[in-house]
Amino acid sequence: MAQVEMNGILIGEVETKNIMTKSSLPVGGYSVNPYVGCTHGCKYCYASFMKRFTGHTEDWGTFLDIKHWPEIKNPKKYAGQRIVIGSVTDGYLPQEEQFGNTRKLLQQLRGSGADILICTKSDLVVRDIDLLKELGQVTVSWSINTLNEEFKNDMDSAVSIERRLAAMKQVYAAGIRTVCFVSPVFPGITDFEAIFERVKDQCDLFWLENLNLRGGFKKTILDYIAERYPSLVPLYDEIYNHHNLGYFKSLEKKAEEMAKKYDCPFVDNEMPYGRVPQGHPVIVDYFYHEEVRGTGNTGKRNK
């Protein structure tokens, strides 16, 4: 297929020798991205750096390459390994409905015994509930950093927060482990306790991660804050230009208090695969997660 434009997105194809790549993420294992590019086009996308390795000159969010890979012949070699689907794309982009790469990948991982983590901002994942149940050890994580649809629309073109919440509920009810990934936490904007109250009965883990402003999008975000939230400019200046982490330290305390209030475990890294009693998700502190990078999933912070 030559490059074609569909709904304003430039769609192409790319061959890859091996769909599974060793991961540098704190959760380890393998990372799998069934597409190149991500049409959610989040303004704060840390993955947009990928663009320079792809030969694309178009804006991040406006192109997508459909990957082709040789079939995974021996899925058992991934037994017990963590496989993250969607670290620099979303496996459930709207285009997945047509191209089905993520479903194909999951089918090839049948019988692998891998610990699969799917990161998404979509509700299309409910299409694959049957397959996820069959795979067994699967976790689905939705990024939700606001309940304000207007702010969400300013930041990404993925489905609404309400649709993400409804999908999480459905997947949780199907007996699959779910995560509410509160990321990135925007200082002065993200109200994580309000989000927690919405999701506590439908997730096993509640991850918190700070907004990092690195590279090209720092200016985009700071300009946005100046325009839409001018009263927050001094706070952002303090954090992102003067590297004062006091604000996030105070949020850590707040998260710890919230954990006590709702009788939830509070840990510095993800717990090993497991389910928790409804209403008491594990609250995972990924603020400054570079500190926990490289640890096993022990639930402890590096010294």
Binding site for ligand SF4 (CB under 6 A): 38, 40-42, 45, 47, 88-90, 121, 156
> How many residues belong to the chain?
303
Instruction: Return d(Cα 215, Cα 208) in angstroms, integer.
Output: 22
Instruction: Return d(Cα 5, Cα 2) in angstroms, integer.
Output: 10
Q: How far is the CB of 179 from ligand SF4 (least distance, A)?
A: 14
In 3-state terms, what secondary structure has residue 199?
helix
Q: How far is the CB of 275 from ligand SF4 (least distance, A)?
A: 26
Closest to ligand SF4 by CB, 51 vs 259, is 51
Q: How far is the CB of 157 from ligand SF4 (least distance, A)?
A: 9
Instruction: Return d(Cα 298, Cα 98) in angstroms, integer.
Output: 39
| Order of strands, sheet of 177-185, starting from the edge strand that comes earlier in the sequence | 20-22, 30-32, 82-85, 115-120, 138-143, 177-185, 205-210, 282-285, 266-267
Q: How far is the CB of 167 from ligand SF4 (least distance, A)?
A: 15
In 3-state terms, what secondary structure has residue 76?
helix
Closest to ligand SF4 by CB, 65 vs 156, is 156
Closest to ligand SF4 by CB, 44 vs 78, is 44
Closest to ligand SF4 by CB, 86 vs 187, is 86
DSSP string, 145-185: --S-HHHHHHH--S--HHHHHHHHHHHHHTT-EEEEEEEEE
Closest to ligand SF4 by CB, 88 vs 174, is 88
Q: How far is the CB of 76 from ligand SF4 (least distance, A)?
A: 29
DSSP 281: P
Cβ burial of 55 (10 Å; 0-12, 13-18, 19+) is exposed
Closest to ligand SF4 by CB, 137 vs 141, is 141
Helix (H) and strand (E) counts in the chain: 10, 13
Tokens of 4: 């074609």
Measuring CA to CA, which residue among 230, 206, 236 is closest to residue 218? Answer: 236
Closest to ligand SF4 by CB, 90 vs 204, is 90
Helices of type H across the chain: 51-54, 96-99, 101-108, 129-135, 149-155, 161-173, 192-199, 217-228, 233-240, 246-261
Q: How far is the CB of 41 from ligand SF4 (least distance, A)?
A: 6
Q: How far is the CB of 120 from ligand SF4 (least distance, A)?
A: 8
Q: How far is the CB of 32 from ligand SF4 (least distance, A)?
A: 13
**HSE of 92, CA atoms in CB hemisphere, 13 A:** 21
Closest to ligand SF4 by CB, 40 vs 103, is 40
